[in-house]
């Protein structure tokens, strides 16, 4: 008789446990399972400069391997399945960032690149690039500073820097709502935050239906602009990405590119005039890189406007790239 047969015969000779014994054993097993906490790894610190190397966000990942109670979880960062998964990962990455909490007398410095097609009557649309550095007061109550320089292809400069003092509270001609102090007052609850954004960026109706914007289009564009050139507290950034998930019609773009030529994944919304607006994220850190606008439906656009005649469908119309953002002590001071 082999060992397995002996064990089976011994087992079969034992009386079956009572229902009460089985129930008690199941309760002990469930309690033990609840006490074994799944340990999730903290992400490495992300630089405030967009595009810095970091660890991938760990929400919605495909492979999770637990070695034992004292071993951190190992993850495999697969290609995101959709826009919601990208936003979940971006929110998780944001929560891992330190929050330096700037003083009211400091400034938010942002360095960015942008480009778009410009055209005039009878002219062929052409690409025009811009590099800019901006200093905005944290409290939104003092003068800011803007420096801009036109660029050619590849980001090379073509002219001198122009300097403009921003005298209106919150940054002059920019969106006065997006100073740090005002943004910091926004809710961190995604549902409440979305309601606040809907009040900030209401649906737009006018005598020209081509210029109209739905509530979802307005909010998405507002979020895109907030991410493009604002220093967002990490907790707000996380809530902002969770709120974006609630916008109807958002889609995933698996390969997008910002104005600095950096490839990434994007969360997008196609507006009624046929232009797809994208928020571009780094593939590894899920930090926002910038934004892009694409002519997704040329026929729809050309029915409403005439400035892009001859521009092929799928062409990038504009793009931004947030290269660096820091807190500094004075306008004009570089980090």
pLDDT per residue over 123-169, tens digit each? 777 788 999 999 999 988 888 899 999 887 555 556 789 999 887 65
Q: Is the pLDDT of residue 7 over 90?
A: no
Report yes or no on 27 lying in a domain: no
Helices vs. strands in the chain: H and E counts, helices first: 8, 11
Per-residue pLDDT, 24? 56
Q: What is the residue whose two structure tokens read 């062409």?
A: 315
Distance in angstroms between the alpha carbons of the first and the last residue of the chain: 80
Q: Which strand (E) or helix (H) includes residue 206?
A: none
Instruction: Tell me if 39 is assigned to some domain.
Output: no
Q: Which residues contact 89 (CB under 8 A, 6 or more apart)?
A: 56, 57, 58, 59, 60, 80, 286
CA–CA dist 94, 219 (Å, integer): 20
| pLDDT at position 215 | 94
Distance CA 3, CA 250 (A): 62
Q: Who has greater pLDDT, 206 or 121? A: 206
Q: What is the DSSP string of 70-125?
A: TSPPEEE-PPPSSHHHHHHHHHHHHHTS------TT-EEEEEEEEEEEE--TTPPP
Contact present, 325 and 109 (Cβ < 8 Å): yes
Q: Which of these, 171, 151, 103, lies nearest to 260 by C-alpha position?
A: 151
Does the predicted model carry a pTM greater than 0.95? no
Other residues' Cβ atoms within 10 Å of the Cβ of residue 333: 12
Closest Cα to residue 186, out of 130, 152, 233, 136? Answer: 233
pLDDT at 75: 34
pLDDT at residue number 247: 97
Please compute the mean of the pLDDT values over residues 112-130 and round it to a whole number: 80
Look at residue 84 and tell me whether its pLDDT is greater than 90.
Answer: yes
**In this structure, is residue 63 part of a structural domain?**
no
Mean pLDDT of the chain: 78
Q: Which DSSP letter does residue 321 get?
A: E
Two structure tokens written together for 147: 């420096």
DSSP state at residue 14: S
Three-state secondary structure string covering 31-51: HHHHHCCCCCCCCCCCCCCCC
Closest C-alpha among 38, 55, 110, 36 to residue 323: 110
DSSP symbols for 111-139: EEEEEEEE--TTPPPEEEEEEEEEEEETT
Please list, in sequence order, all residues whose beta carbon lies within 8 angstroms of the beta carbon of residue 106, skipping any fewer than 6 positions away: 137, 138, 327, 328, 329
Domain extent at residue 127: 95-328
Q: What is the pLDDT of residues 208-231, one digit of tens each?
A: 777 789 999 999 999 999 887 778
Residue 285 has pLDDT above 60, yes or no: yes
Burial 306-329 (b: 16+ CB within 10 A, else e): eebeebeeeebbbbbbbbbbbbee
Determine what percent of the chain is predicted with pLDDT higher than 70.
Answer: 70
Closest C-alpha among 176, 111, 99 to residue 137: 176
Domain membership flag for residue 64: no
Residue 81 lies in a domain: no
Flag whether 241 is in a domain.
Answer: yes
* Rounded Cα distance, 317 and 255, in Å: 16
Instruction: Provide the domain count of the chain.
Output: 1
Of 49-53, 118-122, 142-146, where does mean pLDDT reach its minimum? 49-53
Axis-axis angle for helices 234-244, 83-95 (nearest 10): 170
* Domain annotation covers residue 179: yes
In a domain, 18, yes or no: no
């Amino acid at each position: 008789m082999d060992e397995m047969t002996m064990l089976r015969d011994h087992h079969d000779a034992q009386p079956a446990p009572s229902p009460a014994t089985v129930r008690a054993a199941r309760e002990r097993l469930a309690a033990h399972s609840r006490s074994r906490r799944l340990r999730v790894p903290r992400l490495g610190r992300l630089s405030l400069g967009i595009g810095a190397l970091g660890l991938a966000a760990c929400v919605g990942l495909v492979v999770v391997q637990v070695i034992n109670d004292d071993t951190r979880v190992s993850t495999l960062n697969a290609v995101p399945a959709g826009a919601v998964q990208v936003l979940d990962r971006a929110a998780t990455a944001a929560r891992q960032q330190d929050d330096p909490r700037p003083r009211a007398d400091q400034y938010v410095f942002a360095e960015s690149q942008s480009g778009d097609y410009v055209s005039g009557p009878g002219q062929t649309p052409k690409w025009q690039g811009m590099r800019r550095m901006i200093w905005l007061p944290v409290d939104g109550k003092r003068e800011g500073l803007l420096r801009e320089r036109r660029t050619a292809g590849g980001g090379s400069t073509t002219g001198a820097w122009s300097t403009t003092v921003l005298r209106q509270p919150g940054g002059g001609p920019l969106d006065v709502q997006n100073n740090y102090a005002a943004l910091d007052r926004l809710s961190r609850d995604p549902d409440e935050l979305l309601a606040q954004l809907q009040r900030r960026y209401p649906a737009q109706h006018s005598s020209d239906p081509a210029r109209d914007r739905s509530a979802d289009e307005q909010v998405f564009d507002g979020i895109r602009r907030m991410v493009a050139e604002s220093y967002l507290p990490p907790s707000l950034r996380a809530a902002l990405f969770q709120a974006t998930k609630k916008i109807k019609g958002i889609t995933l773009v698996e390969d997008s590119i910002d104005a600095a030529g950096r490839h990434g994944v994007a969360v997008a919304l196609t507006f009624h005039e046929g232009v797809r607006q994208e928020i571009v994220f780094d593939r590894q850190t899920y930090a926002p890189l910038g934004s892009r606008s694409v002519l997704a439906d040329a026929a729809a656009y050309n029915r409403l406007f005439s400035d892009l005649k001859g521009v092929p469908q799928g062409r990038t119309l504009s793009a931004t790239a947030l290269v660096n953002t820091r807190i500094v002590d004075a306008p004009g001071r570089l980090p």
